[in-house]
Amino acid sequence: MSEPSTFELAKKAADDLFKESIKPSVNKIREKLNGKGGQKTIQDALDEWWFELQEKLNHYEQREDVPDHLFKLTDQLWDVALSYSSTKQVEEQERFVIQITEMNDKLILAEENFQQAAKALLLAQEDKQKAEKAQEDCQKQLAVLKKDNRQLKSKEEKNAEAFFKLRSEVELSIQSIKHQEELLKEKEKLIVQLTLNQKKTR
């Protein structure tokens, strides 16, 4: 047995919607068919469904065994069904609008939260860059201080070496002066002795 065509399924969906007091439409039928079927096919099926429904009503109106008040009651029920269907559609549309509005509000809130998070992340990145820059500057200053310290230590070593050299030279000079003084004293003694000897000889 072959599967029913989309045209037949669309007419059956229209019957189901009508039984649920919902006015059949292309969009409603497509929802019933889970999004299947082309719009033209569904529209053609819906047009035929309305035509067949009207034929059924006309058939009942032509039956002599059906009282007039029953036809009037049927028309009233039909009008009530359509009115109820329209009212239900309006309510569904209002609920849909409310849901869309709530979703839009949530999206706006999510976007605001995202922007705040992005701003906080940007500030954190800027703070990180500043910290890295400060660390880099400190490292440069430390390198300069180490270089200056090495230069100062080198100067201190040179000054210490010069001091010890000068001290050695001073000590040598003092020793030389003392030696000369001793020689001078010896020379004076010899002169005095020589003078005394000369006097004795005379």
Tens digit of each residue's pLDDT (9 = 90 or more) over 149-170 = 788 787 878 877 877 787 878 7
Q: How many domains does the chain have?
A: 1
Q: What is the pLDDT of residues 24-80, one digit of tens each?
A: 999 999 998 998 888 899 999 999 999 988 887 776 555 555 555 555 656 666 565
- Do the domain assignments include residue 169? no
- Do the domain assignments include residue 58? yes
Query: How far, in Å, CA of 46 to CA of 41, rounded?
Result: 9
Contact 26, 41 (CB under 8 A): no
- Do the domain assignments include residue 77? no
Confidence (pLDDT) at 97: 52
Confidence (pLDDT) at 73: 59
For the segment 4-32, the average pLDDT, to the nearest whole number, is: 91
Helix, strand, coil percentages, rounded to 5, for the chain: 90, 0, 10
Half-sphere exposure of 181 (CA within 13 A, CB side): 6
Domain assignment of residue 28, given as a range: 1-66
Is a pLDDT exceeding 90 seen at residue 189? no
- Do the domain assignments include residue 40? yes
Confidence (pLDDT) at 44: 93
Confidence (pLDDT) at 62: 55
Q: How far lies 161's CA from each of 128, 147, 158, 164, 170, in Å? A: 49, 21, 5, 5, 14
Q: What is the DSSP letter of 66?
A: S
Confidence (pLDDT) at 14: 93
